[in-house]
Chains A and B, each alone.
Chain A
């Protein structure tokens, strides 16, 4: 099984975010880490490789710092890495990013492409599905489990409200992987050492520029959400307070 895992480097979860001068993006002098859902996608790919042999390739689009994500993936057991390296990749929307990926892998033959179900910074949950459409492949999202079958794979999709569904699919296919479906492995010292010698192909922006076109949407303004909160203190004996509260929740807040 030849699997491609699309990974993204995102700001660390507790990094203090500051707006840039134009107020259209954040200042980049913070710490970064791998997008958590992508770490689960990688783990799933590595498990599939362990079960069915094959190759795991990781790809990311981002500045030089994003290489760290690829290095960690190689240390965990991925075989090859592709880095679309350019600061400009940070500003691409999901559509353009997917087009860049498709261009970078046009000469490869993967059986499966995994992405995390969404990124912790944008939270669009689109790149994987767009990529499937561009490649002309079937896809399924929010996948919990993958089983190889003779004719392809059987995947378990998570639906809302505690529902699930199995789907039979042919290969090649794109899957977006749910977080937390397995325990992430640790990179070992040997793995880290070996990662240094694994192939890492760099792809520049000009190489894929013609495939990308322009963004179809634009962040006009990024800002700290303002909350105008007025706290209403409810007083009186407990029974009365309970009545008042339920009434407020029902009629004012309308959550009951």
Chain B
């Protein structure tokens, strides 16, 4: 059987989790590098339309794994369904996004077929014929290239943002879609999940934020934080701060970034009036894009910034808020 790469996308209540597009991009990249065929699968109940949505992309085939027992999600049902499917199809590589849900069942699935998952990868490379998957270790301090020492199927989960969904190629024609009815016997599902609900979190988890606007001493007074808050809102991000701001009580401790606060690696980190003391830097240098605004041209923060603005943040931030709002409304 020719080697295939299977991307298992994620959906909840009939909507595709958009991080799945990133995983498909990963699949396309791997397919190009290995020459293997790319296929995708959606798992759930009544997911045919989602399978159709995916079929517009450049890949060989899409499967809809169907069973009423797959809604709502339970690890037992998903593991059994995918075990059945993977055992019969024998893909070489199974790719998934590293979401909370995937973490909940992929190790179980892999173990059930005596295989393993390399999880939370940020990329891959080829070493001759061997595939090596790169992942962060020790909270980002070191990176590891990991290989499989067992037979296929090999499970890999990719970190949010490791691949770019805008690089996903569309197909020249729709890929064929096949519905596979999964057989899940009575008694397989042991957990009884209740309704999913939203709750105002007691503490903010900055490690989950994709965009962070952080303020430092340069903000001068507590009332000026409002301006940073507006920028964060315009960007759809979270507000954070360096140590002195939280020490003064201007923002709660759970907004603190740095060696005595949180360590974050968002897509975008905007440092306003932050000098870049090492205690702060270690908490955010893993951010993908760093923008720094500071009056002091020698502020150490500029050494790690991608975009640097030497200037008064009170002059720069108001027009920045306007430009961001314009860009977001399609200006």
**Which chain A residues have a beta carbon within 8 Å of chain B's beta carbons?**
11, 13-14, 17, 19, 26, 93-95, 98, 120-127, 129-130, 132-134, 138-142, 157-170, 180, 214-225, 227, 229-235, 238-239, 241-243, 245-246, 248-250, 253-256
Contacts and interface: CB of A to CB of B under 8 A. Distances in A.
B178 interface: no
Given A95-B110, A165-B197, A256-B328, 4 more contacts: A26-B142, A95-B116, A124-B120, A224-B141
Contact of A164 (B148, B196, B322): B196
25 contacts: A17-B141, A95-B116, A120-B139, A123-B139, A129-B111, A133-B107, A133-B111, A138-B191, A159-B196, A162-B200, A165-B197, A219-B145, A223-B143, A223-B144, A231-B305, A231-B307, A232-B308, A233-B308, A234-B308, A241-B311, A246-B323, A246-B326, A253-B289, A255-B267, A255-B288
Contacts of B211: 255
A250 B291 CA distance: 13
A220 B146 CA distance: 6
Of A166, A223, A242, chain B has the most CB atoms within 10 Å of the CB of: A242
Given A130-B107, A234-B307, A224 B142 contact: yes
A221 B145 contact: yes
B319 A238 contact: yes
A162 B198 contact: yes
For B111, B166, B198, B324, the residue with the greatest tally of chain A CB atoms inside 10 Å of its CB is B111
Contact of B142 (A95, A120, A223, A235): A223
Interface string B287-302: 0110100000000001
B118 interface: yes
A166 B108 contact: no
A250 B330 CA distance: 11
Given A120-B138, A241-B316, A245-B291, A231 B306 contact: yes
B327 A242 contact: no
A56 to B, nearest CB: 24
The 7 nearest A-B residue pairs measured at CB: A242-B319, A216-B116, A129-B107, A138-B190, A168-B192, A126-B107, A216-B150
A148 B315 CA distance: 56
B199 interface: yes
Interface residues of B, number: 86
A14 B139 CA distance: 10
B309 interface: yes
Contact of B191 (A121, A140, A142, A159): A140
B31 interface: no
A163 B197 contact: yes
Contact of B320 (A159, A246, A255): A246
Given A222-B144, A255-B289, A121 B138 contact: yes
B112 A170 contact: no
A167 B267 CA distance: 32
B103 interface: yes
A158 B273 CA distance: 34
Given A160-B100, A165-B194, A225-B142, A245 B307 contact: yes
A168 B164 contact: no
Nearest to B287: A255
A217 B323 contact: no
Given A130-B107, A223-B142, A233-B308, A254 B164 contact: yes
Interface string B257-276: 00100000001100000000
